[in-house]
Structure 1
């Protein structure tokens, strides 16, 4: 079976920096074998993160660009950052996550999370996403940052579980846990509650967190399908297994991909090996092999396409300073050998930049798609 190739296309460097117009950009994507494109839109732009993303140039039109993509047979997924909205953090103090030591989460570099249990935030996200779907009529939506707060990018082998802070022990979350489980934890004492939740009630607390995130996915799916029936959901998944940091993806982030995938057609695993200071192989094959049996629907293995997190405050974590062509090919081969249904890439600007040099990345991608890598 021919693998699916998906591309994250958030920024506009391809035109602002490299001079491609919309028609040329879509033609290039098609020539590279891209099937799905994950894009951001003007109504719901992705906030800036660790990778610089330039805004659209004058004259760019969301509708026209998507029409060009569809004319070339590509499926379009509109991205939304569910729990990464820095403006919400700034203006709505009730959304600021609380740690087990009762401290309020502070921004770390570009990242700051939000408490996932606030129904008002979910309702606002659902409203915006519904407006986007109604206007742009995509094939699907990409739910990014769909988890409890945590900067997982720092979870390299040089970290220990004890160094990872867990959120959210706010009064709203504690009350919701009590109501759902019949427990009677003190909702006004995060330290005391956390001491119990992270020990005697660890399994129950983890299950509640995972169920909450899965329910948010369900609610967002229901909202967009009410506007456009059949709209598909693609989930942004953190690529770690049960043995990584004591099952921290479930326990800390509340992200159970097996549970979430029941509410979505497609799941992405962010196999960012340079960020996480891993060798591409056999790590990719092993992790996909562990998670594939748990995940319903399509599973896409996502590779990063350029190195990042090398400067303070992210240095000293064992990351290599580059991703040479041979390593990119090795990572793609690992995906080809794995149980993944296809590959995704973050992000397309790196392919455009490499095309101006050697074209190695595009050549590897075409070989992967053709089964000749």
Structure 2
């Protein structure tokens, strides 16, 4: 059952609260509580997150994983260990079969910080599930937050100016095609990847999309089982994309294989990344539209993940029609859109920007969070 709204969750993957603002782990936990935070989505040293758009290198001194978690719990904050599923550049380097192949017949190349991993390798998934199980056993968290739980692609680039025909679809690697046939019983014609991809997307679009969604949903179920083995009652939260079913042929299902309704059968909590500046959308109209569409299909808690600062404004991202600015007042506007959308709460990406606004700015973000939580926004 959905939890009582509104939940305030924060993503705190990095450690800028220590390296930039000088807080100890205990002080950081206390400050989170003062901001009205209910859930903290953090990373750990057993399953560290690969560096992405956030500097996630841990502090070198005066930090302890367990002490930080204990202090969060003392403050009534629920802890979710974050785990990157199908984004692990080291795994790609170790096993070339994980490199995705596109419908253009080409192996995926790194784009900025991103290089996805094919989600169809059962052995790789087993490794990720085992790592999650070890982390849950060590830290006994309330839950696990699964990032990059989708077919590979840099969805952040898909602002409204980008046409569907300009988006490369993955994964048409030999291993993925072999698993498709194994799972569905559908034989595919032999030939180059680009020809097979053309046949699949023209003749088997529905079957291919359903299979992709099943692969991702099954991956969530596999990791859920591992987490629960380590600690019965461990909850799963997944990191979901925010595209309407009517947006360029259902990008979430067809390109990314992410069916949030189906996934919610195995995840108590679903967040959707309504990053309005990244996707060049209006926060007060687009955010409620996405949430209203998702709410009937998501079984459990639905959270809206919102941005705190502008992102992807420099090359190679600068020509996508997005604003180069996201002032604190616009953060409040996004929260207002969440409040109007029927979500069970908000997930803030990321907490150190809220801290920064309090320390060096006017505290607009903290004030907006408090007003969102008490219903006065």
TM score, norm. by length of structure 1: 0.98
- Contact 2:24 2:63 (C-alpha < 8 Å) held by counterparts: no
- By how many angstroms is 1:224 displaced? 1.1
**SS of aligned partner of 2:83:** strand
Q: 2:154 pairs with 151, 154, 158, which one?
A: 151
Matched, 1:366 2:370: yes
1:122-143 C-alpha deviation (Å, 9 max, x unpaired): 0110111111000000000001
**What's the counterpart of residue 45 of structure 2?**
42
- By how many angstroms is 1:343 displaced? 0.5
Q: 1:239 pairs with 220, 238, 242, which one?
A: 242
Q: 1:76 to 1:187 in 2, by over 3 A?
A: farther
| Whole-Å separation in 1 of the counterparts to 2:270 and 2:5 | 18
| Whole-Å separation in 1 of the counterparts to 2:247 and 2:55 | 29
- Contact 1:166 1:252 (C-alpha < 8 Å) held by counterparts: yes
Q: 1:61 to 1:185 in 2, by over 3 A?
A: same
Equivalent runs, 1:1-373 vs 2, <5 Å: 2-186=5-189, 189-356=192-359, 357-373=361-377
**SS of aligned partner of 1:78:** strand
1:200-231 C-alpha deviation (Å, 9 max, x unpaired): 11000000000011001000101111111110
| Whole-Å separation in 1 of the counterparts to 2:243 and 2:59 | 34
- Contact 2:49 2:56 (C-alpha < 8 Å) held by counterparts: no
| Whole-Å separation in 2 of the counterparts to 1:169 and 1:336 | 40
- By how many angstroms is 1:180 displaced? 2.2
- Contact 2:308 2:328 (C-alpha < 8 Å) held by counterparts: no
| Whole-Å separation in 2 of the counterparts to 1:235 and 1:187 | 36
- Contact 1:175 1:187 (C-alpha < 8 Å) held by counterparts: no
- Contact 2:97 2:175 (C-alpha < 8 Å) held by counterparts: no
- Contact 1:171 1:187 (C-alpha < 8 Å) held by counterparts: no
- Contact 1:12 1:57 (C-alpha < 8 Å) held by counterparts: no
What count of residue pairs does the alignment treat as equivalent?
373
- By how many angstroms is 1:158 displaced? 0.9
- Contact 1:100 1:168 (C-alpha < 8 Å) held by counterparts: yes
| Whole-Å separation in 2 of the counterparts to 1:2 and 1:107 | 39
| Whole-Å separation in 1 of the counterparts to 2:182 and 2:356 | 53
| Whole-Å separation in 2 of the counterparts to 1:107 and 1:361 | 34
- By how many angstroms is 1:2 displaced? 4.1
| Whole-Å separation in 2 of the counterparts to 1:326 and 1:66 | 31
- By how many angstroms is 1:9 displaced? 0.5
TM score, norm. by length of structure 2: 0.97
In structure 2, the gaps of 5 or more residues are none
- By how many angstroms is 1:187 displaced? 5.5
In structure 1, the gaps of 5 or more residues are none
- Contact 1:170 1:187 (C-alpha < 8 Å) held by counterparts: no
Q: Could you say what the CA RMSD is over the residues aligned between the two structures, in angstroms?
A: 1.1
| Whole-Å separation in 1 of the counterparts to 2:189 and 2:134 | 39
| Whole-Å separation in 2 of the counterparts to 1:193 and 1:263 | 32
